């Protein structure tokens, strides 16, 4: 089940919300848990058991780690628990990748397992690991109510594509949540904005990117437009999902962390990664980078730490060499910036912004294609080294057709629309204007969904 579907919008979410607010407070987490399992089972019924096993193991290990805190046994239990969690993730996500590369290395064809990836396993595995580490560090108390822990791990608003919610952030909210009308209204507003990002902008940009991928003819300008459309698509797709997840969380009384903060206005790649997929970046910082020593070690170990984090970040996104290259690509730029480039970027704001956009565009070309040859071909075409025309009549037609959406998307990556909405919100007419706009957006999204085809979120595959 996906958020941008009629099933979720009109048959699943309204009854869940209604039931949630009708029952007493002590049963609300049970409703969330049952709803989350139904939500997950809708698309992945056979993997509900896997998530249930993960929940039971994390519940037991959390209690044992707390019980033996300060003793060597606690560390052993933590390592065993983390290894078990990661073993599930590695088996389902990386088995075929490792078998394929082993086959090439030894020159013997080995059969692959062809196992489907459990949706959201990368996200809820990281949530379990952070919970257990925080219990070990005494940053959180072990959860004694398995229903509450299960509700945290399986929480359907952010289960399949984040943001990665820390247990420490919602530990108190699992026991007691505030349900205010203004919070519910804000949650609905944020959900509709996120849905509009996905349905009206990301899906439309996906059509433009698909036209380039399926075309037999290529040109310099259309190669650039394709790169821009994908970079914008993945932003509106993922940030749209995050907005929807945070919005639903607000309705149920949870405060999830912000996951995007206008990353395309950044002036450095370092800043870009402080603004893009914030929950993932902070997770790797707190649970991998800092434990390795962070930047408080010698320069060689510091560079090693950055490389390890970004190698893992690349692999987290997918079991393919293009993701490894993508992660190391960003590692190289982050290292260069930290060594000397950031001082130059601070002095040249316009050049720094161009540098970020160009670097990110190229990164998403690497990210979008598992075939390295296709990636190389597009990069060569973009810079005119493949004797392709500047533009063709067919490509000119596509650019004209999608020009308005591209302009809206570019403006939407800046704080400008939010500033306009803030100015409207302080006027007397805001009481009428805002609900009307949201209702129209919801109606428009529904029309697009009814008329369109199945179009899942890009990050579902991670």
Tokens of residue 127, six digits: 């949530």
C-beta atoms surrounding 88 within 10 Å: 18
**Separation between Cα atoms, residue 381 and residue 379, nearest integer Å:** 5
DSSP 216: S
61 and 78 Cβ atoms separated by less than 8 Å: yes
Block residue for tokens 């170990």: 301
Q: How far is CA 213 from CA 230, 231, 247, 393, in A?
A: 11, 14, 34, 17
Tell me if residue 353 is catalytic: no
Give CA–CA dist 233/212, Å, rounded: 14
Instruction: Say which residue the tokens 């009708």 belong to.
Output: 22
Q: Is residue 350 packed enough to be buried (19+ CB in 10 Å), middle (13-18) or exposed (0-12)? A: exposed
* Nearest C-alpha neighbor of 314 from the set 367, 271, 238: 367
Residue 402: partners with Cβ closer than 8 Å, 6 or more residues away: 204, 205, 207, 208, 229
Closest CA to 257 of 288, 283, 237, 235: 283
Enter the tokens of residue 325: 């290259």
Query: SS3 letters for 246-269?
Result: HHHHHHCCCCCCCCCCCHHHCCCH
User: DSSP letters along 11-62, please?
Assistant: IIHHHHHHHHHHS-GGGHHHHHHHHHHHHHHHH-GGGHHHHHHHHHHHHHHH
Q: Please pick, among 317, 348, 353, 395, the residue that the annotation labels catalytic.
A: 317
Residues 365, 378 contacting (CB under 8 angstroms) = yes
End-to-end, the C-alpha distance of the chain in Å comes to 16
Cis amide linkage into residue 223, ω under 30° from 0: no
Cβ distance 251 to 19 under 8 Å? no
146-154 and 48-67 are packed helices; what angle lies between their axes, rounded to 10 degrees?
130
Catalytic residues: 317
């Amino acid at each position: 089940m996906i958020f941008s579907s009629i099933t979720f919008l009109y048959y699943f979410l309204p009854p869940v919300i209604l039931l949630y607010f009708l029952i007493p407070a002590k049963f609300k987490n049970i409703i969330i848990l049952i709803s989350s399992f139904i939500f997950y089972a809708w698309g992945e019924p056979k993997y509900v058991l896997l998530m249930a096993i993960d929940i039971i193991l994390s519940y037991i290990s959390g209690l044992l780690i707390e019980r033996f805190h300060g003793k060597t046994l606690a560390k052993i239990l933590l390592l065993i628990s983390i290894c078990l969690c990661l073993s599930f993730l590695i088996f389902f996500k990386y088995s075929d990748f490792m078998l394929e590369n082993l086959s090439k290395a030894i020159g013997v064809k080995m059969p692959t397992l062809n196992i489907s990836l459990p949706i959201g396993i990368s996200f809820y595995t990281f949530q379990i690991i952070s919970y257990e580490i925080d219990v070990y560090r005494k940053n959180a108390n072990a959860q004694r109510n398995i229903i509450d822990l299960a509700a945290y791990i399986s929480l359907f608003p952010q289960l399949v594509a984040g943001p990665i919610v820390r247990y420490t952030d919602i530990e108190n909210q699992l026991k007691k949540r505030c349900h205010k009308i203004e919070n519910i209204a804000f949650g609905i507003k944020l959900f509709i904005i996120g849905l509009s990002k996905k349905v009206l902008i990301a899906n439309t940009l996906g059509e433009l990117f698909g036209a380039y991928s399926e075309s037999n003819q290529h040109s310099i300008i259309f190669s650039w437009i394709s790169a821009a459309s994908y970079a914008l698509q993945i932003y509106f797709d993922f940030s749209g999902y995050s907005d929807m997840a945070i919005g639903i969380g607000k309705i149920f009384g949870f405060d999830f962390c912000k996951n995007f903060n206008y990353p395309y206005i950044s002036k450095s790649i370092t800043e870009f990664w402080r603004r893009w997929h914030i929950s993932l970046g902070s997770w790797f910082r707190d649970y991998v980078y800092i434990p390795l020593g962070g930047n408080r070690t010698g320069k060689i170990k510091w560079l090693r730490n950055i490389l390890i984090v970004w190698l893992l970040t690349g692999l987290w996104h997918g079991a393919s060499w293009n993701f490894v290259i993508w992660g190391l690509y960003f590692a190289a730029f982050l290292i260069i910036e930290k060594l000397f480039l950031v001082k130059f970027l601070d002095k040249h704001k316009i050049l720094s912004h161009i540098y970020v956009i160009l670097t990110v565009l190229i990164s998403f070309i690497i990210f979008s294609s598992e075939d390295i040859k296709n990636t190389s071909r597009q990069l060569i075409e973009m810079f005119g080294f493949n004797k392709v025309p500047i533009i063709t009549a067919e490509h000119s037609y596509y650019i004209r057709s999608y020009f308005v959406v591209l302009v809206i998307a570019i403006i939407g990556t800046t704080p400008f629309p939010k500033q306009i909405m803030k100015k409207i919100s302080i006027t007397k007419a805001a009481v009428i204007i805002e609900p009307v706009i949201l209702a129209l957006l919801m109606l428009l999204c529904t029309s697009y969904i009814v008329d369109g085809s199945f179009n899942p979120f890009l990050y579902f595959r991670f």
